[in-house]
């Protein structure tokens, strides 16, 4: 058994788990945060994406013990004060989800993507950067629209200043 | 109808919980004392089970129990069945082999379950499953349907000689043969429809809970069809009587057909829960999903299409062999028959059609309905044949289709269906205009300057949705009626709960069903709740598949609303001392037409429950139930045009434009309809370009993970250009047709026609991988 200490969505948590326990299972089963999903067993689908120290990671590819000491944000920690994050709001406005199962991972990937590109996102870049997330419902059309819209929303000020 | 009623682009009510991680899927469910089930599955495609030794597994850490098929059989749990009886053309019934929830004597595909281990944790269950010792005697296996019919092929079920399940026909063979003999031109094509895996992102899962105190079972499951699951598990599998079995399908992460059926795992987990006294949860990993979720398609066909001197189709003759895998899944038999061959007239006026369909057992996962279910197979066959014909006859593919379109309705095809409405030329024209069809030659020339091969292809599809009159499907062998139920409950404060037997697993029913009510009553959409997916809340239902939720499910809601409105009008007339026929419902009020007398909706609702002043003899309450049985199928149709560039150096295909022009009848929520089309297009394009289930000769599944099965990703797909040309459906009260499957039906032939146009070689099969395209582009033909 190993001891794991994490900050999850701003709250300090700790617990014992088997060394082989994956971060996603620790989050889902020990912490009861079931917004992070498991859609495959080969790190391909991206339904398990969370942020670890501010960067998107696939929580099915990291052992809980490896994550010990880090700060993790899950989909449950994204909306602040009851207001949807701009990426969440854009997914709703542009119908970027249907069954909702891939959505948490898709949103977490999109937030990191938008943060990293400093407002410089176009359709081709968004499609390439979504490579690690599979959606079977939407055909990606509206997901791409939502990410571009959220990007404009989040970087609107910076973009205007540059112009 | 206002900003929230029918026709409005209302953002989805259900989105917030999905976007914030508050969706509740089956694997998220935790109940006190819950343990984890792990299935021991056959590593062989075909083998005799000589013995199963579970003693070592039972001694492993954390293990509650290990159970095998002999125990299940001894407890009287029945075999899985196929619910649609098809007879061969000689009158004999289809040959259904036994499918035990846990195999006892023989395993018939890799993944066939033989035992379940239940333990405190999933890891412990998995570890212990490794300790179950099964002694197999391997048998020869057969994978391809064509091989399974050959003399000397391994026999998979004793009930089905030569692995033939049925040899079925439809249409007039003599008329088709005669027309072909007299034809000016006969086009002959071989068509293969590749086998697919549905791949809902949420893997299948189930939680079986037996309550010994109440002698009652609860089954949480990833189902599109919880009521049917309860019916079949109680009536046929002897798991529990219907009144003691509650089935809940909570949030379900996509289905696409693969979650319509009852699988062994629901049955085994419920039984295991009673056996062990603990709730048992099982969740598939993705490899289990590839191995055991019902696959789709897998047809091999020979086609003859006859034309007269004026290029009018005079006959169509089709010979199809369909692979149903190792066992007959719940709806498997109707897919390659009544959902396929009845669509072989397409959008065309064809005087004589004959189709012969043989279905076959192989040592592969069961094959059943997948998005479109039979309709994609029919459309692919017909539209690849039309394209081939246009090329061989030397006329434009658009003109060949235009010349043969059905133009007057209703239209009786030679293969049962009676099309009620449509305007196929409108969709064709819209698609050609949106795609700038006439400008293609210049674009092709420009591409050739860059050494790229550009091609364009079209497909004109029709599908039959919202199936179908119960009496009609009953006469064709269906084991159930295909109506839908609804209950509209108006609360005393005027808020409304709608209970529906439809099931939403991504289609947005919580929004569209509420839009219907909001439009009718003029009350805010937030005051309306849609309840579905729980057999203890909704009495009856037939679930969601085959694009039936709008045409059948919402029609049931409309009928229940008729009754609620009629009663509300009676109450309002009584309260306002007016004639009932003068009451109108508008903007949340009941008004006496031509006067300024009004009552708010909530006051009428309250009056129904206070019952202080109701018309003489009226029962209190405002709650009505309706069952809606459709009077016909609905017939969505459309035209898709795809333009591609093929890199002759690499064989890589890039979709440069995809245009979809659809006729879905009246549309409830255009935003949601467009989303459904996008998703369908992605699955159809996936079939044409990337996807395919592959077994090796011994029956090992080679595409058992996302490393091997090529799922379409964002970068594989274009943005889509959609338009709608809607002729209202005359056979249901809403005029809706259904949109869920269209994209997956119409897109594969459009894309394959475009690629074969680009490379100038018609001999190409799906998926059109770069290697296959590269070789075909170089082949002299």
Q: Are residues B81 and B220 in the same domain?
A: yes
Give the number of other Cβ atoms within 10 Å of residue B138's Cβ. Answer: 13
Domain membership flag for residue B392: yes
Report the mean per-residue pLDDT for chain B: 97
Q: Are residues B624 and B642 in the same domain?
A: no
Distance of residue A30 Cα from the nearest chain B Cα, in angstroms? 12
SS3 content of chain B, % helix, strand, coil (to 5): 30, 25, 45
Domain boundary residue, one of B598, B628, B658? B628
Q: Does B3 touch chain A (CB under 8 A)?
A: no
A134 contacts B19? CB cut-off 8 A: no
Rg, chain A, Cα only: 16
User: With contacts defined as CB-CB under 8 Å, which chain A residues touch B203?
Assistant: 38-39
How far is Cα B97 from Cα B108, in angstroms, rounded to an integer? 11
B567: domain CATH number is 3.30.365.10
A126 contacts B23? CB cut-off 8 A: no
Q: Are residues B393 and B374 in the same domain?
A: yes
Average the pLDDT over B12-24 and give the result. 97
State how far the alpha carbon of A146 is from the alpha carbons of A138, A149, A155, B201, B722, in Å. Answer: 12, 5, 14, 20, 18
Q: Are residues B407 and B337 in the same domain?
A: yes
Residue A161 pLDDT > 70, yes or no? Answer: no
Residue B779 pLDDT > 90, yes or no? Answer: no
Residue B475 pLDDT > 60, yes or no? Answer: yes
How many domains in chain B? 3
Contacts for A29 with CB less than 8 Å, ≥ 6 apart:
none
High-pLDDT (> 90) share of chain A, %:
91
Domain boundaries, given as residue ranges, for chain A: 2-74, 86-154
pLDDT tens track for B549-591:
999 999 999 999 999 999 999 999 999 999 999 999 999 999 9
Residue A150 pLDDT > 90, yes or no? Answer: yes
- Are B504 and B512 in contact by the 8 Å Cβ rule? The answer is no
Residue B55 pLDDT > 90, yes or no? Answer: yes
Higher pLDDT, B479 or B348: B348
Give the DSSP H/E element, type plus range, for residue B707.
none
Task: Please give the model's pTM, rounded to 2 decimal places.
Answer: 0.97
Domain membership flag for residue B538: yes
Residue B255 pLDDT > 90, yes or no? Answer: yes
How far is Cα B284 from Cα B203, in angstroms, rounded to an integer? 6
Lowest mean pLDDT among A82-96, B247-261, B472-486: B472-486
Domain membership flag for residue B494: yes
pLDDT tens track for B602-612:
999 999 999 99
Q: Are residues B304 and B410 in the same domain?
A: yes
Domain membership flag for residue B47: yes
Domain that includes residue B406, residue range: 299-468+632-779
pLDDT tens track for B181-221:
999 999 999 999 999 999 999 999 999 999 999 999 999 99
Q: Are residues B322 and B459 in the same domain?
A: yes
Question: What pLDDT is stored for residue B2 in this prediction?
Answer: 59
Q: Are residues B767 and B658 in the same domain?
A: yes
A138 contacts B18? CB cut-off 8 A: no
Question: What pLDDT is stored for residue A162 in this prediction?
Answer: 42
B682 contacts A100? CB cut-off 8 A: no
Q: Same fold for the domain at A2-74 and the one at A86-154? A: no
3-state per-residue secondary structure call for B136-178: EEECCCCCCHHHHCCCCCCCCCCCCHHHEEEEEEEECHHHHHH
CATH architecture of A86-154: Orthogonal Bundle (1.10)
Question: What pLDDT is stored for residue B1 in this prediction?
Answer: 46
Report the mean per-residue pLDDT for chain A: 94
DSSP for B565-608, please give it.
HHHHHHHHHHHHT--GGGEEEETTEEEETTSS-EEEHHHHHHHH
Q: Are residues B565 and B508 in the same domain?
A: yes
Domain boundary residue, one of B628, B644, B661? B628
B706 contacts A45? CB cut-off 8 A: yes
Q: Which residue of chain B is at minimal alpha-carbon distance from A80?
A: B20
Q: Are residues B562 and B601 in the same domain?
A: yes
Q: Are residues B569 and B679 in the same domain?
A: no
Instruction: Tell which B residues from 669 to 688 touch A, by Cβ distance under 8 Å.
Output: 671-672, 674-676, 678-683
pLDDT tens track for B77-122:
999 999 999 999 999 999 999 999 999 999 999 999 999 999 999 9
How far is Cα A36 from Cα B601, in angstroms, rounded to an integer? 42
How far is Cα B216 from Cα B646, in angstroms, rounded to an integer? 60
pLDDT tens track for B512-539:
999 999 999 999 999 999 999 999 999 9
User: With contacts defined as CB-CB under 8 Å, which chain B residues touch A35?
Assistant: 20-23
Which residue from B452, B392, B432 is spatially nearest to B644, judged by alpha carbons?
B452
Q: What was the ipTM of the complex prediction?
A: 0.97
Nearest-5° Cα angle at B135, B131 to B140: 130
Q: Are residues B606 and B661 in the same domain?
A: no
How far is Cα B487 from Cα B557, in angstroms, rounded to an integer? 7
User: With contacts defined as CB-CB under 8 Å, which chain A residues touch B20?
Assistant: 35, 75-76, 78-79, 84, 88
How far is Cα B458 from Cα B640, in angstroms, rounded to an integer? 6
Q: Does A16 touch chain B (CB under 8 A)?
A: no
Q: Are residues B91 and B220 in the same domain?
A: yes
User: With contacts defined as CB-CB under 8 Å, which chain B residues touch A37?
Assistant: 25, 201-202, 253
Question: What pLDDT is stored for residue A160 in this prediction?
Answer: 47
Q: Does A95 touch chain B (CB under 8 A)?
A: yes
Instruction: Tell which A residues from 42 to 61 touch B, by Cβ distance under 8 Å.
Output: 42, 44-45, 47
Identify the CATH class of A2-74.
alpha beta
Instruction: Tell which B residues from 106 to 135 touch A, by Cβ distance under 8 Å.
Output: 123
High-pLDDT (> 70) share of chain B, %:
99
pLDDT tens track for B395-425:
999 999 999 999 999 999 999 999 999 999 9
Domain boundary residue, one of B628, B649, B674? B628
Give the number of other Cβ atoms within 10 Å of residue A154's Cβ. Answer: 18
């Amino acid at each position: 058994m190993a001891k794991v200490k994490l900050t999850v969505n701003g709250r300090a948590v700790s617990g014992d788990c088997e060394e082989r326990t994956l971060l996603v299972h620790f989050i889902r089963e020990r912490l009861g945060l079931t917004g992070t999903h498991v859609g495959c067993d080969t790190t391909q689908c991206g339904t398990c994406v969370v942020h670890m120290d501010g960067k998107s990671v696939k929580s099915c590819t990291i052992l809980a013990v490896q994550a010990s000491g880090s700060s993790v944000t899950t989909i449950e920690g994204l909306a602040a004060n009851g207001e949807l994050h701009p990426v969440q709001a854009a997914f709703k406005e542009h119908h970027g989800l249907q069954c909702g199962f891939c959505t948490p991972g898709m949103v977490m990937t999109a937030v990191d993507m938008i943060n990293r590109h400093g407002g410089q996102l176009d359709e081709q870049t968004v499609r390439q950067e979504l490579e690690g997330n599979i959606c079977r419902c939407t055909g990606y059309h509206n997901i791409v629209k939502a990410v571009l819209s959220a990007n404009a929303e989040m970087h609107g000020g910076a973009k205007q200043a540059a112009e | 109808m206002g900003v929230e009623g029918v026709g409005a682009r209302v953002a989805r009510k259900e989105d917030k919980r999905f976007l914030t991680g508050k969706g509740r899927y089956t694997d998220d469910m935790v109940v006190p004392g819950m343990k984890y089930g792990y299935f021991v599955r056959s590593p062989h495609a075909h083998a005799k089970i000589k013995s199963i030794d579970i003693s070592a597994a039972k001694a492993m850490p954390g293990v509650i129990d290990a159970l095998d098929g002999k125990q299940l059989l001894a407890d009287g749990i029945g075999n899985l069945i196929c619910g649609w009886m098809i007879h061969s053309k000689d009158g004999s019934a289809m040959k259904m082999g036994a499918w035990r929830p846990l195999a006892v004597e023989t395993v018939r595909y890799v993944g066939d379950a033989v035992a379940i281990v239940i333990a405190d944790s999933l890891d412990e269950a998995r570890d212990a499953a490794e300790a179950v010792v099964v002694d197999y005697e391997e048998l020869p296996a057969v994978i391809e349907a064509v091989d399974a019919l050959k003399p000397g092929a391994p026999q998979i079920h004793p009930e089905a000689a030569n692995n033939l399940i049925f040899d079925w026909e439809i249409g007039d063979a003599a008329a088709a043969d005669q027309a072909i003999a007299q034809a000016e031109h006969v086009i002959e094509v071989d068509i293969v429809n590749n086998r697919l895996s549905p791949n809902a992102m949420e893997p299948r899962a189930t939680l079986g809970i037996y309550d010994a105190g109440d002698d009652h079972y609860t089954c949480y499951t990833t189902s599109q069809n919880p009521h049917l699951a309860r019916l079949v598990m109680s009536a046929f599998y002897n798991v529990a009587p219907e009144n003691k079995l509650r089935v809940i399908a909570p949030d379900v992460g996509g289905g696409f057909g693969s979650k319509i059926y009852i699988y062994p795992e629901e049955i085994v987990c419920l039984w295991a829960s009673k056996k062990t006294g603990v709730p048992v949860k099982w969740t598939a990993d993705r490899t289990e999903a590839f191995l055991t979720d019902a696959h789709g398609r897998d047809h091999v066909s020979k086609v003859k299409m006859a034309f007269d001197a004026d290029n009018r189709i005079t006959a169509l003759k089709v010979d199809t062999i369909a692979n149903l895998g190792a066992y007959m899944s719940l709806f498997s038999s109707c897919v390659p028959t009544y959902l396929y061959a009845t669509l072989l007239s397409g959008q065309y006026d064809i005087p004589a059609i004959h189709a012969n369909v043989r279905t076959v057992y192989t040592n592969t996962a069961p094959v059943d309905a997948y998005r479109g279910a039979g309709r994609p197979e029919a459309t692919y066959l017909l539209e690849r044949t039309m394209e081939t014909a246009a090329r061989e006859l030397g006329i434009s593919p658009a003109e060949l289709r235009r010349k043969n379109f059905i133009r007057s309705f209703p239209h009786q095809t030679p293969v049962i269906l009676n099309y009620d409405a449509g305007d196929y030329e409108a969709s064709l024209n819209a698609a050609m205009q949106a795609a700038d069809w006439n400008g293609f030659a210049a674009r092709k020339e420009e591409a050739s300057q860059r050494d790229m091969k550009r091609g364009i292809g079209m497909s004109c599809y029709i599908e039959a949705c919202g199936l179908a009159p119960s009496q009609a499907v009953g006469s064709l062998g269906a084991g159930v009626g295909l109506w839908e139920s609804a209950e509209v409950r108006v609360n005393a404060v005027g808020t409304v709960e709608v209970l529906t037997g439809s099931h939403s697993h991504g289609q947005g029913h919580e929004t569209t069903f509420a839009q219907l009510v909001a439009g009718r009553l003029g009350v805010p959409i937030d005051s309306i709740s849609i309840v579905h997916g729980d057999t203890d809340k909704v009495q009856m239902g037939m679930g969601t598949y085959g694009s039936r939720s709008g045409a059948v499910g919402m029609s049931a809601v409309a009928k229940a609303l008729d009754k609620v409105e009629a009663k509300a009008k009676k109450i309002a007339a009584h309260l306002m001392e007016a004639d009932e026929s003068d009451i109108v419902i508008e903007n949340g009020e009941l008004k006496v037409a031509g006067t300024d007398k009004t009552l708010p909706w909530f006051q009428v609702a309250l009056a129904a429950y206070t019952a202080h002043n109701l018309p003489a003899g009226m029962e209190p309450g405002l709650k009505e139930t309706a069952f809606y049985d459709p009077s016909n199928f609905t017939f969505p149709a459309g035209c898709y045009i795809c333009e591609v560039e093929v890199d002759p150096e690499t064989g890589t295909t890039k979709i440069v434009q995809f245009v979809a022009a659809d006729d879905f009848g009246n549309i409830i929520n255009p935003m949601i309809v467009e989303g459904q089309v996008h998703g369908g297009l992605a699955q159809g394009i996936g079939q044409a370009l990337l996807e395919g289930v592959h077994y090796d000769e011994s029956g090992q599944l080679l595409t058992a993970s996302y490393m091997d099965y090529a799922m379409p990703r964002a970068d594989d797909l274009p943005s889509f250009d959609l338009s709608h040309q809607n002729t209202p459906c005359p056979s249901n009260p809403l005029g809706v047709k259904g949109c869920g499957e269209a994209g997956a039906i119409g897109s594969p032939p459009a894309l394959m026609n475009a690629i074969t146009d680009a490379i100038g070689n018609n001999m190409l099969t799906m998926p059109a991988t770069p290697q296959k395209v590269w070789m075909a582009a170089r082949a002299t033909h």
